[in-house]
Amino acid sequence: MAKITLSNLRHSYYPDPKGPDDYALKMIDLDWNDGGAYALLGPSGCGKSTLLNIISGLLVPSEGRILFDDKDVTELAPTERNIAQVFQFPVIYDTMSVRDNLAFPLRNRGVDETMVARRVAEIAEMLEVTDILDRKAAALSPDNKQKVSMGRGLVRENVNVVMFDEPLTVIDPHLKWKLRSKLKELHQRVRATMIYVTHDQTEALTFADQVVVMQDGEIVQIGTPVELFERPAHTFVGHFIGSPGMNILPCETQGGAAMFRGKQVALEGEIVPGDGTRTEIGVRPEFVTLAESGIEAVVRKISDVGRHIVVETLIGEDRVAAIVKENAPEKGETVHLNFRPDRTRLYRDGWLATTAGEAAQ
Amino acid sequence: MKTVNQRAWFLVLPVLFLVAFNALIPMMTVVNYSVQETFGDNLFFWEGLGWYEQILTSDRFHAALGRQFLFTGLILVIEVPLGIIIALSMPRQGFWVPVCLVLMALPMLIPWNVVGAMWNIFTLPDIGLLGYFLNHTLGINYDMTQDPLAAWITIITMDVWHWTSLVVLLAYAGLVSIPDAYYQAAKIDGASNWAVFRFIQLPKMKNVLTIAILLRFMDSFNIYTEPFVLTGGGPGNSTTLLSIDLVKMALGQFDLGPAAAMSLIYFAITLGVSWLFYTLMTKDDLN
């Protein structure tokens, strides 16, 4: 158990990186609190697996340090860090039984056999694999195999952190949900720090207390699922989280007001002064309403997703999605859109540039 | 209800012809010889199982069979572990991979009788590179035409040189197919190098190694050309393996009946051992 600190971390897979583009991780400064459930969310290739491998010690970063509590572990091998990692594809030792698989990390460390038996029984009970302990691991179904690899990660006591690298990729959809809630339950029972890497927002938002969103080797936002949804710090977060993602509309600023196609758009608060060339308005489809008057738009497509209806419209060439409960307009119809002011924000060069208004608090 | 269409059997005909002309008919002529005595002029006399009894009880056959198992056993014991060790130490990526693969494949591309001739000349005591070096530089008395031990060492070394690559290439193919995650998981689980070999690499190589051992068993058990060119079965009968003995009997002495019986016994042993080995190795996969 430990607090994990990443300080000034940079990593490049090239021996001699030239520019920022050569870095898989650009500059990471991050604290993971002891016992937290974290998700590391981002699209494929954003550097999240690299970051994970640096924490586990499979990779040594080009620059920067990793601290477990106050101990510098940057150069330590994975075994010396006392961490656990579960991989995308279940890693099991084919020739061993489930029991021996679970006992393997303990036996390698010379743990006493009575202690091994006790821990294996505990973990097997937690993962509900007690009845298959004597089966050969090679013959298990993918979800049971993944449970066994999770079990190997959890079997050691006092691991500093358990990391999951997209562990549900090969699991059938109906079992994904089960395993995900199992993981959440496990976290509450063992209270170890857990980091869950995924590109699936549902997995991240259901598992984690804190979600770290990454893009192009950088952290764009850290926050609770609600914060990420309500107040994205970057248009990427707005777009990546939510279904459909946030509407992003190019706009201009004039004297402290946002102008979209010549009309002023009310924002949540003051525009933060700063330089930047590209300004955009961001508003989630959940906060776009159809009304009698407002910005004129043409309905392009209607999708009924069950719980609500997604109305895709065009304002000139800009696409805006709105979510309505009922009374959806027809395709091709002209509608008027209203943006809820306390949920409408200005982004400058991608980053949030409005102060939180009173209404938002 | 579906009507049964028996005409589908015609689709099997090509294979039936192929197997018949390729294996069954030639083998039946051997079966025919094995139960008869012939004195030429196409005269045959019924012998029953007499030849089989004679072969199975003959000291000459026992000796050749013993030498054959010794040879096959020795080359398997050397080539399989050696092949695995070489495969483990080969690079996994980069410039040296194709270089290693081509170097490994080279011995296997040389025709078998050329291999025999090469090693024959290579080991000649007075003019061969190795023979001269051993005899005249190191002063070791080495002459495989005189000394059975030297002859054995030479044919074993030759086979190891010729065929270890097969094990290497198959084992290497098995090794490169192991995903990195297995090695990473093993590191995190605190596994020693031996444990990584024993619980990851060896199990993942099991299928290819089964094939490698099976191929090496069959090829070495039936080996003829290389030892024939190298030692001709000598000195004395010390390197007369089953196939060399069989050819001596069939073509040297023209004892067609006993030779046919011996061929079939020889074939049955090869088939039996291969079947037994394969069944044992794949037994676990079925459960």
Is it the case that residue A358 has pLDDT exceeding 60?
no
User: A139 and B287 in contact by Cβ < 8 A?
Assistant: yes
Is it the case that residue B168 has pLDDT exceeding 90?
yes
- Chain A hits for B185, CB-CB cut-off 8 Å, are 85, 87, 91, 149, 152
pLDDT per residue as tens digits for the range B262-273:
899 999 999 999
Summarize the confidence of residues A350-355 as an average pLDDT. Answer: 84
Is it the case that residue B180 has pLDDT exceeding 70?
yes
- Chain B hits for A95, CB-CB cut-off 8 Å, are 199, 203
Q: Best residue in A94, A154, A170 to probe B by mutation, most B CBs within 10 Å?
A: A94
When pLDDT is cut at 50, 70 and 90, the band that residue B210 belongs to is very high
Predicted ipTM > 0.85 = no
Q: Following DSSP, what letter does each residue of B204-255 receive, concatenated?
A: HHHHHHHHHHHHHHHHHHT--HHHHHHTTT-STTTT--HHHHHHIIIIIS--
pLDDT per residue as tens digits for the range A141-185:
888 888 888 888 888 887 888 888 888 887 888 888 888 888 888
By CA distance, what is A58's nearest residue in B? B184
Domain boundaries, chain B: 60-286
User: B188 and A56 in contact by Cβ < 8 A?
Assistant: yes
pLDDT per residue as tens digits for the range B84-136:
999 999 988 888 999 999 999 999 999 988 998 999 889 888 888 888 888 88
User: A89 and B204 in contact by Cβ < 8 A?
Assistant: no
DSSP-based three-state secondary structure for A293: coil
| B4 touches A at CB < 8 Å | no
**Cis peptide leading into A329, omega within 30 of 0?**
no
By CA distance, what is A150's nearest residue in B? B185
Q: Kindly report the average pLDDT of chain A as a whole number.
A: 84
- Chain A hits for B195, CB-CB cut-off 8 Å, are 108
DSSP run (H or E) holding A159? none
- Chain B hits for A85, CB-CB cut-off 8 Å, are 184-185, 188
Q: What are phi and psi of A129, to 5 degrees?
A: -120, 15
User: A79 and B192 in contact by Cβ < 8 A?
Assistant: no
pLDDT of residue A361: 39
Burial of A341 (0-12, 13-18, 19+ CB in 10 A): middle
Q: Best residue in A56, A73, A83, A93 to probe B by mutation, most B CBs within 10 Å?
A: A93
pLDDT of residue A305: 83
Summarize the confidence of residues A89-110 as an average pLDDT. Answer: 88
Is it the case that residue B286 has pLDDT exceeding 60?
no
pLDDT of residue A360: 42
Q: Which amino acid, one-letter code, is at A255? A: G
When pLDDT is cut at 50, 70 and 90, the band that residue A74 belongs to is confident
Burial of A234 (0-12, 13-18, 19+ CB in 10 A): buried
Closest Cα in chain A, distance from residue B92 (Å): 18
pLDDT per residue as tens digits for the range A123-135:
888 888 888 888 8
Distance CA A278, CA A29 (A): 27
Distance CA A100, CA B209 (A): 24
| Size (chain B), residues | 287
| B185 touches A at CB < 8 Å | yes
Fold held by B60-286: MetI-like fold (1.10.3720)
pLDDT of residue B275: 93
Q: Best residue in A82, A104, A120, A146 to probe B by mutation, most B CBs within 10 Å?
A: A104
When pLDDT is cut at 50, 70 and 90, the band that residue B172 belongs to is very high
- Chain A hits for B204, CB-CB cut-off 8 Å, are 94
User: A85 and B287 in contact by Cβ < 8 A?
Assistant: no
pLDDT of residue A1: 62
